[in-house]
Structure 1
Amino acid sequence: MFVRKPFLWKCLGRWVFARSLSGGSGSRLDLTGIYPPITTPFNQRGEVNYQQLEENVHKWSKIPFRGLVVQGSNGEFVYLSSEERVEIVRKVRQVLPREMLLVAGSGCESTEATVTMTQSMADAGANAVMVITPYFYRGRMNSSAFVHHYTRVADSSPVPVVLYSVPGNTALELPVDAIVTLSHHPNIIGLKDSWTDVTRVALIVHRTRKQGFQVLAGSAGYLLPLYSVGTHSVATGVAPRVESGVDFSCCGPPTSRSDVLCVQRRSSAHHCCDGWFSQLLSPSCQPEQI
């Protein structure tokens, strides 16, 4: 387990006293494992179907996932009100077993709105938050702006923060130099990178390894190469076939050819959904029920 002591952290020309992570133990939250990004079910009137959500979570909790990502891109959070976003996290936490982690998407366009949403997600039961890059004014979002934004959020967050870069939806990539700088913050524990540039991910892993920074693979089609370069976890639309008997609590990157072959066997026990997570539980699942 990576342990970080409080220290002085220099950001944007000033020294800041970095607090230990929430819980006071000083231990960095271990994200190793698979985290499916769940969908948000709606009824015919376009309202969130909380009953169906609870039923889905009951089913997902029977699969040996490490946890769930709630209000990621699959959760269509951009179409939800602030109240709906928080209530969905609260409902999931009520149903999800305590030993499973809940990573909640708390990103908003403004820094202050993200700070407020992050606090609300933590109050609703999130173990960590995943913060997407602000992107509306993408022309002004340089490394300095990103470092300032994420530092403010992480300083205020009562739970660990995971950076979230998803250029396919935002047309904006979180710069590597900003990621490396932010990896030194004691309350920023990792990055979900939902892109297909394996070289970029390998560089991020290499440059942040000493900080105990954890990189989550966000592209199902590149699971094996991303895992082979050192990613710690999977947070993407992949579904395990329970009958395969595969151990889904993969521990760390492969370090030998035999480890890579083991990953290949694990990967063969997964299948990708066609854009949605509606077929996760079994081939007989009906999309309209999810």
Structure 2
Amino acid sequence: MTAPLFKGVITALITPLRDGKVDEAAFRTLLERQIAAGVHGVVPMGTTGESASLHLDEHKRVVELCVSIAAGRLRVIAGAGSSATDKAIELAHFAKTVGADGALVVTPYYNRPSQAGMAAHFEAVADAVQLPLLLYNVPGRTGVDLANETVAKLAAHPNIVGIKDATGDLARVSWMRANIRNEQFDLISGDDPSYLGYHAQGGVGVISVTSNVAPEAMVALHEAAAAGDYATAREWQDRLIGLHKGLFLDNSPSPTKYALSRLQLCSEEVRLPLAPTGEAVRPAIDRAMVEAGVG
């Protein structure tokens, strides 16, 4: 079987902000922390990076900065999603130009295309840019669900190498294993709470929000599962489940930025229309951090 191109713990990086601007010093600190923890990759400018509300020049700068700091020490999969196909192509092309290892392309949001429209969107990006692409299905945010059959069709494209499945539907990974004939197609979870189950059914990694806050623990969970030591993996999952849930008690990534601010790694500032984490849920996040060993 062909080895996965993208696997392991891949952190969906936040974009630290201060006084309305990208905090590049904090970004460097956060990325170096991820590298020291042994994560296998990062995604700058995905959903967790507030890609929907940052300016195009900010988006490109963060991707460029990430590739530069990483310097080949881990995989960089640049967020390249847009509701407009031309813009997605522009972002994927930029990712290739600056040396990213791949691009993460989300289903078009708000305009709610059909399955045929989504397939054509992804094929257009993959045809235009010679860079490994991951499909990204997150219907809770985009309003559309990329059907299994559409994924299987797209998996035949040589530049489409996998999927980030953030549906939390564990039956999908088994269906894809049974119906996608491309051995190079990487099945990656985009849902921290269900990742252990996803891995047990054949997933090879997770694009993780939790690993922003607890990267070492997420790496330990993955490595135990990859070794077939599910007893140890469950122990890590039990430690992390409160944090998995706590980081979504308010609109993401606000809780993650709050948690990182508690660790004095960055400001909790987010960009409108997001707002800082509500006071009512902060104690629960604090407790979850302690349970995960990062409080």
* TM-score bin, normalised by smaller chain: 0.7 to 0.9
Deviations 1:220-266 (A, max 9, x none): 111121111111111021234648993755786x8xxx543353245
- 1:126 counterpart (100, 104, 111): 100
Asked if 1:43 is matched to 2:18, the reply is yes
1:243 and 1:177 mapped to 2: Cα distance?
A: 35
1:21 is matched with none
Residue matched to 2:247? 274
Letter of the 1:128 counterpart = G
- Structure 1 runs (4+) greater than 6 angstroms displaced: 279-283
**Residue aligned with 2:136, SS:** strand
Letter in 2 for 1:41: P
Would the aligned equivalents of 2:190 and 2:208 in 1 still touch at CA under 8 Å?
yes
How much does 1:170 deviate?
A: 0.9
- 1:88: Cα distance to partner? 0.3
Structure 2 residue aligned with 1:181: 153
Structure 2 residue 122 is matched with structure 1 residue 150: yes
Cα offset for 1:112?
A: 1.7
Whether the aligned pair in 1 keeps the contact of 2:156 and 2:182 (CA below 8 Å) is no
User: Shift in Å at residue 97 of structure 1?
Assistant: 4.1
Report the CA distance shift for 1:249/1:93 in structure 2 as closer, same or farther (over 3 A).
Answer: farther
For structure 1, list consecutive stretches of 5 or more residues without a partner in the other structure.
3-27
Query: Any conservation in 1 of the 2:9–2:222 contact (CA below 8 Å)?
Result: yes
Give the letter for the 1:228 counterpart. Answer: A
RMSD across aligned C-alpha pairs, in angstroms? 2.7
Partner deviation per Cα, 1:128-154 (whole Å, 9 max, x = no partner): 00001112221xx22211121111111
TM-score by length of 1: 0.79
Q: What residue in structure 1 maps to residue 278 of structure 2?
A: none
Q: CA deviation at 1:85?
A: 0.7
TM-score scaled by length of structure 2 = 0.78
1:288 positional shift = 2.1
Q: What SS is found at the alignment partner of 1:36?
A: strand
Shift of 1:33: 0.7
- 2:11 is paired with a residue whose SS is coil
Please say if residues 155 and 182 of structure 2, whose CA atoms lie closer than 8 Å, have aligned partners that are also in contact. no
Aligned residue number for residue 286 of structure 2: none
Secondary structure in 2 matching 1:88: helix
Do the aligned residues in 1 keep the contact of 2:163 with 2:187 (CA within 8 Å)?
yes
Task: Give distance in 1, aligned partners of 2:123 and 2:150.
Answer: 11
**How many equivalent residue pairs?**
258
The counterpart of 1:204, out of the listed 176, 195, 204, is: 176
Pairing partner for 1:171 from 130, 133, 143: 143
How has the CA–CA distance of structure 1 residues 199 and 244 changed in structure 2, closer, same or farther, with 3 Å as cutoff?
Answer: closer
Query: 2:88 maps to what in 1?
Result: 114
Unaligned runs of 5+ in 2: 270-295
Contact 1:111 1:153 in 2 (8 A): yes
The percent identity for this pair of structures is 22
CA distance in 1, matches of 2:268, 2:159: 38
| 8 Å contact from structure 1 (residues 34, 249) kept in 2 | no
Contact kept, 8 Å, 1:180 with 1:207, in 2: the verdict is yes
Question: Match for 1:235 among 204, 207, 212?
Answer: 207
Take 1:199 and 1:244, find their aligned partners in 2: how far apart are those partners? 23
* Alignment of 1:100 onto 2:62: no
- Distance 1:213-1:33 versus aligned 2 partners, 3 A rule: same
Deviation, 1:200, is 2.3
Higher mean C-alpha deviation, range 188-197 or range 29-38: 29-38
Counting helix residues as a fraction of each chain, which structure ranks higher? 2
- For 1:279 and 1:264, how far apart are their aligned partners in 2? 26
